[in-house]
Structure formats: structure tokens, C-alpha cells
Structure 1
Amino acid sequence: MKRLFHLSTTSKQLDLFDKDWEQIKGFIEKNRMDGIEVGLTLDYPLEQIPAGIVEGVHLSFYPMWLDFWRQDQVKLQQLFEDEEAIKSYYGGLEPAVLIESYKKQYRRAKALGAKYMVFHVSHVLPEDSFTWQFDYTDHEVMEATLELVNAVFEAEEDGPMLLFENLWWPGLTYLNPELTQWFIEGVQYKNKGYLVDVSHLTLTNATIGNEKQAYEYIKKVITQLGETKKWIKAVHLNKALPKFYMGRSHHYLLEQYQKAKDKKQQLMILKKHINALDGHVPFDHPLAASILELMDPMYCVYETAPSSRYELAYFIKCQNEALKMMTNKND
């Protein structure tokens, strides 16, 4: 199993290393990691990234994409002020722009020599994230995702593994074994699999308040997958204990969001809400090793949200310590 950490090519993340990839290389070696999973922005120059350190590429995610894909003009008019706003969000007015965007990202992932790519299977509207009332079922989101994915990734292509990641909104959650198997069978691209985000899976159960409860729940869900479990190739390791936040009403936040004076203020409220749910803190409990043993992944990605490179090093140390039992078994 290779251990990676997630790093985006946004200025905020690269500033942790003074935008210096030699520093990033040194950090990887010093912290005894095997490389990075990169959140690759569309216009970042690939030539700046040193060869051999990128194992995975996280593809972009449009949280509210299904109405655009279906060209539901009524809903699009409710979501966006005008056509310019639609262009700004998706890159154009026709669904083909999503296909072209992912084809471009696919080419860039291959150019970097990535071993895998990550694709979110989900759809959510901003207000629905507060109310938990959704317009679409898991099946509808997964069915539309198959349409998009099969239009982007040709069946005969032999590129990096295409790994599908779960969220706690409508789409891939792993809670329905039959649906999970149906989806992976429907992907025409041959080099495919699943990625389990530990926090995202935990967030499908609002009663979880400690690590033991998280482990028992994850064990139950993964065991119920049966043979489908073999498709799990990677894990995003971090921790969420949703009971204390998800157990309260978020209608006051929804009111703040709806009354916000502009889009920027709305975005701040939404980000604060999402970060409270999915804080990307390290899973610093020894049960982290037991969670990984359930799935036996090829890659374990430390996906955390540090404010400095020193905090990132600390987060890596925390999860390395939690996985020490697994390391000793492999020695």
C-alpha cells in the first residue's frame, strides 16, 4: 500500500511550500510518504511538476451539475441569474463542455504519469445541503454519471485507473450493495474501481460520535458490499464525527444563506457549513489501521486541511502513528 497526501495546485495550497516543487519533493521524502494525489487545476502548467511524485489526480467536481446535464432550463433559471453565470460555472451553455473538460483533465493526468484519477459521483444544490431534502435519488445521479463518464472515457482506452469516490449526498454512498455493483459494471472504461472516503462514509450516519462507532459502521457497510468490495482500490483517510453537528437544526444557517446580500457572502456561509461537516482532520486513532485492513487498498491518501506545512507534517505524523500497527504487520 502506497501512502500519499493530497495537495492542490491552488495558490493557497502551493503557498504552503512557497510555490516551490523542490520543497514539496523534500517534504515527501522527509515525511516518508510515497508521493501525492494532486488536485490539478485546469490551467496549471504541468512542466512545473517534477516527474515521479504524482500518483493520483483528483478530477474537478461540479456539485450541482445534473440539471445542466439534463438541460432543465426551469431549474437552471432558478439557480443562476443569467446565461453568463451559467457559462462562468460550467464553462459554456451545452453539456458537451463537461465532456470536453474531463477529456482535457484525462489527457493531463496521463501526461503527468498518474496511476489513478478520482471522480466524485454526487449532485447537491446549496440549499439542500442545509435541509437534507433532495430532488434526485442515488440511482438517478449514478445513472447520469454513467452517461457522462462513458462519453468521456472510451472503453478501449488504457489509461490511469478511474476511481469513483463517495459522498454523503445523492449519488455513490456505498449503502446499497446492488446499486454499487450495478454502477461499476456500467462503466465502460476497463481500468476502473472505487475510492472510499472515510469521512464521507461516516457522514451518512448522523449518530456517530466517536471513532469506535465510526469503525463499526464502516465495517458493516463495507462487509455488506460482498464481492463488490474487490473494486476498492484507494482510501481517503481523515475523520468526521458528525453527531455533534448533524444532530442540530441548520435552518438558521439556511436563513442566513437565503438572506445573504451577495454570492460571495453565500459562499462563505456554505463553506463554513461544509467544513463543519467534513473538516478533513486526521484520523488519529489506532482504529484507522483496522479500517484500512477492511478494504486492503493500493493507495491510502491522507486528505487533510492544514494551515501550514508544519501542520501538514503533524497531521501526517498523527496518521502514521495511528497506522503503526499496520506498518509493523507488513514489515
Structure 2
Amino acid sequence: MRFLLNISTHANDLSIAGERWEHAFSLLDETGFDGYELYPVGDYVYDSIPGEIIGGIHLRFFVMLKQIWYNDRRQLLAMFDNERNIEMYYGGTSRETIVACYREQLELARRFNCPYVVFHPVHYELDYIFNWNPPWSWEEMVDLSADVINEVVRDTAYDGWILFENLWWPGNFRLDSVREIDRLFDRLEYSKPGLVLDTGHILNKNRFLASEKEAVAYLLGEVDRLGSHRDLVKAVHLCKSLSGDYVRASMEMHEPFDGAETFWERFTVAARHVRRIDEHDAFSHASIAGLFERIAPDTTVFEFSFRSKEEWVDKIHRQKQSLGERFFTRKERS
């Protein structure tokens, strides 16, 4: 099993990585990791990244896909206020923009020789982000996601795994049932689909978890319910999220967007809300090692949020200690 760290091309991450990614190299040596799962964003010269340290690509998460995919101009304008905002958010105003973006990122994964990419089979809208009560079904969103991927892979040289990651919002791919997996995979026209199990997203489904020990027990129970479908888990995003107190309080808010008049103001409120739900913290309880008695992924990513290298390293070390002998490096084996 390979162990990776998550990194993006956001400015904060790049400042930690170093201009020539020299600090990114040294962090791998310091922590014993094999490389990075990269989330590519913005106009960045990816040729400047040493390819040997990139072990996977996390495809862009657009969040709101339904209206642009089906060219629902009325709803797009209702959500985004004007055409300019639509173009700024997606990089264009049609589904071809989405397809082009994903094909470019698959080509990047091919150039880096990445064995997998990650895709969120999810659609969500700002109107339901606080109340968790969307007017669509998970079946609709799984079908939409399959349509998107099928269109993207019709013209790509990438031949690695496309791994589908769970999220917590109802009406989406939550891994509540193996029926979600079967429906998605039955509709895919790609020969190498698999799963990314995001542990924090599993925990976010349950807003009544009170302790890390209880959270790990819940996580293991959810994984057990997958039965033989656990073999489809090719990668794990390993992180902890215990934000139930905040989620319960946020659901009681009567006007969560009060004062936010423009799309970008509403989007900023929503993004801040999501960050408080999805904490991307480190596990500390040793029971988390039991996860790997149930699944045997090729890759485990320590997927954390961090504002400094010091915060990042602290989370890395805490989670390594929680895994104990489940985490080991080539140096320690030799």
C-alpha cells in the first residue's frame, strides 16, 4: 500500500511546496510518504511539478453540474445571477467546458503516469446546503455522473482507474447502500472504475457522533455493510470529521444567507459552511487501524486541511501514530 499526502495548486499549498517543489520533496523524506495526490486548480504550469512525486489526481469538483450539463439556462441564471458569473465559475457556459476540463486533467494524469484519478459523483445547490433536503434523488445524480464520465472518456488516452468518492449530502453518492455502486457502475462505459472511501465524509453523514471512538465504530460498521463491494475500494482518503454539533445548529438557522445578495457572497457563505462540516482532521484513536482489516486499498491518502507546514506535520504525525504498525515506510522495512 502506498501512502500519499494531499496537495493542490492553491497559493497556500504552493508556498509550502516551494517554487521548485523542493520543500514538497523534503516533507516526503521527513514523514515517510510516497508522494502526493494532486488537486489541480487555476492557471498553473504543471510541467514545473516533478512527476515522480504525483501518485494520483483529484479531478475538479464543480459541485453544481445538473443545470449546465442539461443546458438549463433559466435555472443557471437563477443560481448564478448572470452569464458572467456562470462563465467565471465553470470557465465557460456549456457542458463542453466541463468535458474539456476533465479531459485536460486526465491528460495530466496520463503525463504523470498516475494509476488513478478521483471524481465526485455529486450535484448540490446552495439552496439546500444548510437544510440537507434536496428535491432530487440519488438515482438521478448517479445517472448524471455516469453521463458526464462517459462523455469525458470517449476521447482520452488515460487508461488508469477512475475512482468515485462518496460525500455526505442526501440525494447523492453516500455509500448508504451497494445499490448506489451497482447503479453507477452499470451505467459506466469505462473498464476500470473503482471507489475512493473518504472516511471523513462517512462520519459527516451522522451528526450525532460524540467521540472519536464512537465515530470509528460507526465508520467500520458502514464499511462492513458494503460486503463484497469493499473489494472495489482502491484508495482511502483518511481523515476525521466530528462536526455534528455545528451541523445540528446550522440546520436550525432561519436565514443562513442573510445579507449575502450576490452569487459570490452566497457561495462564500456556503464554502465557509462546508469547511466547518468537513474538518479534514487527523485520527488519534488506535481503533482506526481496524479499517485496514476490512479493506485492502492500493493507496491511502492522509487528506488534511492545513494553513501552515507546522499544522500539516502535526496532523500527519498524529494519524501515523494512530495507525501504528499499519503505517510503515520503505526505510523502516529495510
Task: Report the TM-score range of the alignment, normalised by the length of the smaller protein.
Answer: over 0.9
Aligned equivalent of 1:17: 17
Summarize the Cα distance change of 1:156–1:266 in structure 2 as closer, same or farther, 3 Å threshold. closer
- After superposing the two structures, state which structure 1 stretch, 77-86 or 260-269, moved more: 260-269
Aligned equivalent of 2:126: 126
Mapped contact 1:42–1:105 kept (Cα < 8 A):
no
Q: Give the letter aligned to residue 51 of structure 1.
A: G
Aligned equivalent of 1:185: 186
Summarize the Cα distance change of 1:244–1:310 in structure 2 as closer, same or farther, 3 Å threshold. same
Which whole-Å CA distance do the structure 2 matches of 1:78 and 1:156 have between them? 34
Aligned equivalent of 1:223: 224
Shift of 1:216: 2.3
Aligned equivalent of 2:162: 162
Summarize the Cα distance change of 1:145–1:164 in structure 2 as closer, same or farther, 3 Å threshold. same
In the TM superposition, what are the counterparts of 1:132-211 in structure 2 within 5 Å? 132-154=132-154, 159-169=159-169, 170-211=171-212
2:259 is the alignment partner of 1:259: yes
Which whole-Å CA distance do the structure 2 matches of 1:240 and 1:260 have between them? 27
Q: Residue 99 of structure 1 aligns to a residue in which SS?
A: helix
Which whole-Å CA distance do the structure 2 matches of 1:100 and 1:76 have between them? 19
Q: Residue 3 of structure 2 aligns to a residue in which SS?
A: strand
In the TM superposition, what are the counterparts of 1:307-318 in structure 2 within 5 Å? 307-318=307-318
5+ residue gaps, structure 2:
none
Q: Give the letter aligned to residue 269 of structure 2.
A: I
Q: Residue 248 of structure 1 aligns to a residue in which SS?
A: helix
Which whole-Å CA distance do the structure 1 matches of 2:83 and 2:172 have between them? 27
Q: Give the letter aligned to residue 202 of structure 2.
A: L
Aligned equivalent of 1:57: 57
Summarize the Cα distance change of 1:199–1:181 in structure 2 as closer, same or farther, 3 Å threshold. same
Which whole-Å CA distance do the structure 2 matches of 1:3 and 1:199 have between them? 17
Shift of 1:77: 2.3
- After superposing the two structures, state which structure 1 stretch, 160-169 or 206-215, moved more: 206-215
Which whole-Å CA distance do the structure 1 matches of 2:51 and 2:158 have between them? 20
Percent identical pairs in the alignment equals 26
Q: How many residues align?
A: 329
Which whole-Å CA distance do the structure 1 matches of 2:97 and 2:263 have between them? 24
Offset from partner CA, 1:218-251 (integer Å, 9 cap, x none):
2222222222211100111111113322222434
Which whole-Å CA distance do the structure 1 matches of 2:107 and 2:123 have between them? 25
Aligned equivalent of 2:274: 274
Q: Give the letter aligned to residue 182 of structure 1.
A: R
Which whole-Å CA distance do the structure 2 matches of 1:281 and 1:82 have between them? 37
Offset from partner CA, 1:164-206 (integer Å, 9 cap, x none):
1111123211101122122123222112210011011111122
Mapped contact 1:38–1:57 kept (Cα < 8 A):
yes
Aligned equivalent of 1:233: 234
Shift of 1:6: 0.1
TM-score of the two chains, using structure 1 as the length reference: 0.93
Which whole-Å CA distance do the structure 2 matches of 1:121 and 1:159 have between them? 19
TM-score of the two chains, using structure 2 as the length reference: 0.92
5+ residue gaps, structure 1:
none
Shift of 1:71: 1.9
